[in-house]
Amino acid sequence: MRDHSYNIAIDGPAGAGKSTIARAVAARMGLIYVDTGAMYRAITLFLLREGVDVTDAGAVEEKCRKADVTIRYENGEQVVLLNGENVNPYLRTEEVSRTTSVVSTQKSVREKLKELQQKLARESDCIMDGRDIGTCVLPHADVKIFLTASSLVRAKRRYAELTARGESCDLEQIQRDIEERDYRDMHREVSPLTQAEDAVLVDTSDMTVEQVIGRIVELCGR
């Protein structure tokens, strides 16, 4: 019997397709996919329900101690539990989406979620994606991937998603937004986006989703 669980860390900038790829690799390899973004949304939901001023670091830190967020699978669906309650229906509201970007910059929130994510990784074979998984959350992951694509390719993918939903948008504006977010993520004080020294760079600019999945499964030697 192995003395530790098997963990894969995927990092990369916004719009690189991390979640799509991580979910597919998890299904292919029989791993649990840990959606770290959903965990941040759950903490945000908790703080909103508690009426906390999310810009008040002290208040956020105090309240965070009372939040427990975990993930389990029921009938193949990922369920996010906040203090035991299935909060999936509340995680994608406009208010939660808007507030999560503020909450996720708080050091106490990142520390709290790091602790919860490490607990999940100890207890199960999993794949986790984010901005600081390989560098901060799972520095000893068995396999680390840095998934990226050019800002133009990421903008085109986002443009296609939005137009498919019937939303009008501007490709150049989307690309500017992506580049600004990259800059913020790479220069933030807490856990900036950076490629771990032992991570394998996978540039998906000219790859299909299937090719990317195949490459990662191959890197895992399975």
The arithmetic mean of pLDDT across residues 148-156, rounded, is 95
CATH number for the domain spanning 182: value is 3.40.50.300
- As a dihedral over the C-alpha atoms of residue 200, residue 203, residue 207, residue 210, rounded to 10 degrees, the angle is 40
Q: Which of 98, 124, 150 is the last residue of a domain?
A: 124
Residues 67 and 87 in one domain: yes
Six-digit token pair at 146? 């840095």
Locate the DSSP E strands across the chain.
7-11, 32-35, 69-74, 77-82, 85-86, 126-130, 143-148, 200-203
Share of the chain above pLDDT 90, in %: 70
In our burial notation (b when 16+ CB lie closer than 10 A, e otherwise), range 102-126 reads ebbbbebbbebbbebbeebbeebbb
Residues 62 and 118 in one domain: yes
Residues 102 and 130 in one domain: no
pLDDT at 118: 95
pLDDT at 105: 86
Grouping H, G, I as helix, E, B as strand and the rest as coil, residue 130 is: strand
The arithmetic mean of pLDDT across residues 23-44, rounded, is 93
Residues 129 and 25 in one domain: yes
pLDDT at 184: 84
Residue corresponding to tokens 């490709």 = 171
Could you tell me the pLDDT band of residue 3, with boundaries at 50, 70 and 90?
low
**Nearest-angstrom CA–CA distance, 93 and 160:** 22
Residues 19 and 104 in one domain: no
The arithmetic mean of pLDDT across residues 117-135, rounded, is 93
Helix axes 94-103, 36-49, angle to 10 degrees: 100
**Nearest-angstrom CA–CA distance, 112 and 135:** 16
Grouping H, G, I as helix, E, B as strand and the rest as coil, residue 145 is: strand
pTM: 0.85
* One-letter amino acid of 100: T
Residue corresponding to tokens 């807490």 = 190
Domain residue limits at 42: 36-124
Number of independent structural domains in the chain: 2
Q: Which of 124, 159, 178 is the last residue of a domain?
A: 124
Grouping H, G, I as helix, E, B as strand and the rest as coil, residue 28 is: helix
What does the mean pLDDT of the chain come to?
92
Residues 63 and 76 in one domain: yes
Residues 63 and 139 in one domain: no
Q: Which of 63, 91, 124 is the last residue of a domain?
A: 124
More confident residue, 190 or 92: 92
pLDDT at 1: 42
pLDDT for residue 163 is more than 60 = yes
pLDDT at 2: 52
The arithmetic mean of pLDDT across residues 192-213, rounded, is 94
